[in-house]
Structure 1
Amino acid sequence: MDLQLPHFDSVFSIDCVIFGFDAGVLKVLLIERNEEPFKNSFALPGYIVEHDESIDDAAERILYELTGLRDISIRQFHTFGDVNRHPQGRVVSIGYFALIRIIGQKELNPITQVASKAFWHPVNELPKLAFDHTVIFNRAFKKIRAKLNYEPIAFELLPEKFTLTQLQLLYEAVLDKKLDKRNFRKKMLSYGFLKELAEKQKGVSYRAAKLYKFDRRKYAKIFQNEIAS
Structure 2
Amino acid sequence: MRERLTERQNQVYEFLRTYVRRNGKPPTLKEIGAHLDIRSTNGVFKMLSVLEAKGYIVRTKHEARGIEIVDEVALADDEPPGVMMLKLKEGVGKRARVMTSETADHPLPRSRKPLLLDPKLLPDDADLDDCLGVTASDDGMNGAGVRKGDTVVVEEMSWKDIPNGAMAAVFFYDRVVIRRFEYADKRLHFRAADRTYADESARPDDPEFFVIGRALVLLRTLG
TM range (shorter): under 0.3
Q: Compare relative contact order (CA 8 Å, sep 6+) and give the higher one, 1 or 2.
A: 1
Which protein is bigger by CA-based radius of gyration? 1
